[in-house]
Structure 1
Amino acid sequence: MSSTASKDQAFGPKPEECRDTDHYVKEYNDGFVDKWDDLIDWDSRAESEGDFFIQTLKERGVKRILDVACGTGFHSVRLIEAGFDVVSADGSADMLAKAFENGRKRGHILRTVQADWRQLNRDINGRYDAVICLGNSFTHLFNENDRRKTLAEFYSALNHDGVLILDQRNYDSILDHGYSSKHTYYYCGNDISVYPEYVDPGLTRFRYAFPDDSVYHLNMFPLRKAYARRLMREVGFQDIQTYGDFKETYRESEPDFFIHFAEKKYVEDEQ
């Protein structure tokens, strides 16, 4: 491990015991943020993802989108270029700065806001047709109260009949069968190694190794699919549909990622 990476990413003497929601801000330091676009590879990701989100949002009549985990701006920029009105939020100031820079390089001025999800509606204005939380970001939340509060904030930020799109790794497969990833859709960068070096029911510690021998880590909560869907229902979302790697039908162990579409609707009880 490079001394820079290990020094900047301070997890303490027992990294596996670092299970604090707020620690993610320290994980995304300048060095890791600078590497993030190498990990994603915008062109490869755009090709593999296609227009899945764009078409799905257009079919729902979505116009105004809040990207609550914009990272370096990949989805914000793609959605702006597809004609949506987008506000880009993130908890990391370094990520927001990189997203703004990436937007300018592509001829866009991103509207960015630094926001803690747990107080999201304190920091944003208005309501949105869609809230998107992508890139496995929701699993930075280690405390169940944080997860519930965050989902409630997402719900509140939506217009009536709005939709939350939230993705996550297939932690069920990691916990039950061990790690196996095709890196087909999400992390498409070349010569970059990504794998969990430690897993237990309350923590998955991912290791990211880059061609220049730098190494970084992320501590994530291994969110099970059924549990995530239950939490969404309990804060009020209805008609939750879950895709596996952009497909409606799949074997539970196959997808690298699950993508949840949770509708904010009011359905009258049947008489």
Structure 2
Amino acid sequence: MSENDMYEDFADRYDWMNIHDPAREVFFKTLFKKNNVSDVLDCACGTGKDLIMFHSLGYSVIGSDLSNAMLRKAHENLKEASLDLPLINSDFRELEKHFKTQFDAVVCLTNSINEVLDESEVRRALESMKAILRPGGILVFDQGQSDATMKNPPRYDPVINNRDFSRLFVLEYSANVMQVKIFDFVHTEDKCEFNHTTVNVAIRLKDDWDRILSDVGFSDIHYLGDLDFAPYDKNTSRRLIVVAHK
């Protein structure tokens, strides 16, 4: 989340690992119906794929992101889908400066919240998200790090390997930070290309979020272990999904 756009060289490749997941659609449709959600802010919308999904499910949706490179790609994806949805260049630590209305739901997905390494800045982000939620509104964020996976943290993750493209994550750990080195290989009949991107992610687990979210003033906090709404289990869950009410 520095002033330099770390996604400048990655935005055009980001969607290469985007795979349609019907379970993800069912999860959000069920969650939003249960919580009477009609309008959504995706405050780390990236390339806009989730904006397209939320719109297809019938929700009024706005996207914001700090990365201009990601927003440019989001514009391309929305145009390709024949959609004209609002996209705002905004730091999710300062949402109240850009949005005067409030939302039924704010989502911050795919580990975006943990790209803010400093805990005081994470609190600032959560306070900003809370400020633009209606009373009773929900904040949703998710991450791949869980108590179970961090007991024996992975070093390598071959995310994609098909005929034309391979993506490998190489993971290194220092204190409470995970450095994700992303190696992309294009290997078609007429093209051979290699690209590398590095992203640093803070490691925050359930007890950390319990403390931080409570301090910020969120209530009725639910922790899920998967898209099937299974309760989060420190011993077995392989992901962490947080749903917190204002």
Q: Give TM class, smaller chain.
A: 0.7 to 0.9
CA contact (8 A) 2:41 2:103 kept: yes
Once residues 252 and 181 of structure 1 are traced to their aligned partners in structure 2, the CA distance between those partners, rounded to angstroms, is 22
CA contact (8 A) 2:180 2:198 kept: yes
State how many pairs are aligned: 235
1:217 is aligned, of 198, 207, 213, to: 198
Task: Give the C-alpha shift of residue 48 in structure 1.
Answer: 4.8
Once residues 195 and 257 of structure 1 are traced to their aligned partners in structure 2, the CA distance between those partners, rounded to angstroms, is 18
CA contact (8 A) 2:25 2:53 kept: no
Q: What's the counterpart of residue 39 of structure 1?
A: 17
SS in 2 for 1:231: helix
Q: What's the counterpart of residue 134 of structure 2?
A: 159
Q: Which amino acid aligns with 1:132?
A: V
Q: Deviations over 1:50-92 (max 9, x none)?
A: 4111221122110111100101111111001111010100010
SS in 1 for 2:94: helix
Once residues 197 and 236 of structure 2 are traced to their aligned partners in structure 1, the CA distance between those partners, rounded to angstroms, is 26
Cα RMSD, aligned residues only: 2.1
Whether 2:96 is the aligned partner of 1:121: answer yes
* 1:232/1:188 CA distance change after superposition, 3 Å: farther
Q: Which amino acid aligns with 1:117?
A: F
Pairs within 5 Å for 1:165-180: 165-179=140-154
Query: What is the TM-score normalised by the length of structure 2?
Result: 0.87
Q: What's the counterpart of residue 235 of structure 1?
A: 216
Q: What's the counterpart of residue 105 of structure 1?
A: 80
SS in 2 for 1:26: coil
Whether 2:1 is the aligned partner of 1:26: answer no
Deviation larger for 224-233 or 243-252 = 243-252
Once residues 179 and 147 of structure 2 are traced to their aligned partners in structure 1, the CA distance between those partners, rounded to angstroms, is 15
Deviation larger for 233-242 or 167-176 = 167-176
SS in 1 for 2:46: coil
Structure number with the higher strand fraction is: 2
Whether 2:179 is the aligned partner of 1:205: answer yes
CA contact (8 A) 1:38 1:189 kept: no
Task: Give the C-alpha shift of residue 192 in structure 1.
Answer: 1.6
SS in 2 for 1:125: coil
Once residues 77 and 56 of structure 2 are traced to their aligned partners in structure 1, the CA distance between those partners, rounded to angstroms, is 13
* 1:253/1:201 CA distance change after superposition, 3 Å: farther
Structure number with the higher helix fraction is: 1
Once residues 142 and 209 of structure 1 are traced to their aligned partners in structure 2, the CA distance between those partners, rounded to angstroms, is 22
Q: Which amino acid aligns with 1:165?
A: V
Deviation larger for 84-93 or 208-217 = 208-217
Q: Which amino acid aligns with 2:7?
A: Y
Query: Runs of 5+ in structure 1 lacking a partner?
Result: 1-20, 265-271
* 1:220/1:141 CA distance change after superposition, 3 Å: same
Q: Deviations over 1:102-139 (max 9, x none)?
A: 01111111200011122111012300000000010000
Q: Deviations over 1:34-54 (max 9, x none)?
A: 11000223x2xx235241112
SS in 2 for 1:164: strand
Q: What's the counterpart of residue 9 of structure 1?
A: none
2:30 is aligned, of 51, 55, 73, to: 55
SS in 2 for 1:249: coil
Q: What's the counterpart of residue 249 of structure 1?
A: 231
CA contact (8 A) 1:141 1:220 kept: yes
Query: Runs of 5+ in structure 2 lacking a partner?
Result: 187-193
Once residues 160 and 237 of structure 2 are traced to their aligned partners in structure 1, the CA distance between those partners, rounded to angstroms, is 15
Whether 2:40 is the aligned partner of 1:65: answer yes
Task: Give the C-alpha shift of residue 22 in structure 1.
Answer: 1.8
* 1:189/1:236 CA distance change after superposition, 3 Å: farther
CA contact (8 A) 2:44 2:65 kept: yes
SS in 1 for 2:209: helix
CA contact (8 A) 1:113 1:124 kept: no
